[in-house]
Amino acid sequence: METANAQPQPTLTDPYLIACLRDGDKEALRIATVALVGRGLLDANGTQLKTRNADAVDLVNRQIEKTILRHYGASRDAESIFAAPEAIAACASYRKVLELHRLIAGPQNYARRVMPLLATLFILLGLCIVRVVNAVMQRRHNVGFLVVLAVVACIGLIVACRQRLTGLGMEIMEDLKQLFERLKGRADTLRAGGETNEAALVAAVFGLYALPATAFPYLEKPYPRTTKSDSDGSSCGSSSSSCSSDSSSGGGGGGGCGDGD
């Protein structure tokens, strides 16, 4: 089972790691970027971002933050960071931690899911073919619904087995949502600037747009609500240098079919 895990779980105090668990590298980069804007280290002008000054890089400790500040040394579009090789590399440590603790699926998880998937598809399609053949032999042709149902079931199985989060990761994300539900409920009291870790944690667990627009007015233009991160009801987190801890400090991840590590 993918909920089984022999390793102790990391401490979930790093909002960037939690964001990476919930929605991958892009979400971690969004939250880190908005955190830097909130702390005054990045200037936002519509969809364009620019590091305030060359000294800003020396004021942060996290590699993901340093990478973002270097990337926006010249004015660039907010979403350009997602394709930057150095940004992808900066997120690799988060992914490594999540895979190590079996919270997101790694190559072994996906490989382990293949045989159960193939066996299930074989049985499902076999039964469907048998039923269709029997119906034709009995001169019944109302098999359209059965075929459509079989196709939908096969697509559902394939999607489930491609899930990024393991069962354990999904459980941890649910636990985090319950843990921070009360904090989300008083999100209107949160402020940008990085004085506390609370805004970053709310954004990491629930998404950027769980944060109040009045305190975080710079969210809309660089990261409009049409982005995938809105699916959890939020989008961006203002975090301070204390908002993200070492990449070894937190994570969770998803679900899927087949046994996990």
What are 115-135's pLDDT values in tens digits? Answer: 887 888 888 888 888 888 888
Which residues contact residue 254 at a Cβ distance below 8 angstroms, ignoring those fewer than 6 apart? 103, 104, 105, 163, 164, 165, 166, 167, 169, 170, 173
Phi/psi for 115 (5° steps) reads -65, -45
Residue 73 tokens read as 């040394």
Asked whether residue 246 carries a pLDDT value surpassing 60, the answer given is: no
Query: In which band, very low, low, confident or very high, does the pLDDT at 8 lie, cut at 50, 70 and 90?
Result: low
Ordered by start, the domain boundaries in the chain are 15-105+165-249, 107-161
Helix (H, G, I), strand (E, B) or coil at 80: helix
- Whether residue 200 contacts residue 224, with contact meaning beta carbons closer than 8 Å, is answered with no
DSSP 8-state symbol, 209: G
Please provide residue 14's backbone torsions phi and psi, each rounded to the nearest 5 degrees: -100, 110
pLDDT of res. 143: 79
Confidence of residue 239 (pLDDT cuts 50, 70, 90): very low
CB atoms within 10 A of CB 160: 15
pLDDT in tens, 195-237: 567 888 999 999 998 988 888 888 888 888 764 545 444 443 4
**Per-residue pLDDT for 256 more than 80?**
no
What pLDDT is attached to residue 196?
Answer: 65
Q: Structure tokens of 15?
A: 């909002």
Which pTM was predicted?
Answer: 0.70
Stronger pLDDT, 22 or 217, i.e. the higher one: 22
* Cα–Cα distance measured from residue 224 to residue 203, given in angstroms and rounded to the nearest whole number: 15
Each residue of 66-125: pLDDT tens digit? 999 999 999 999 999 999 999 999 999 999 999 888 898 877 766 777 788 788 888 888
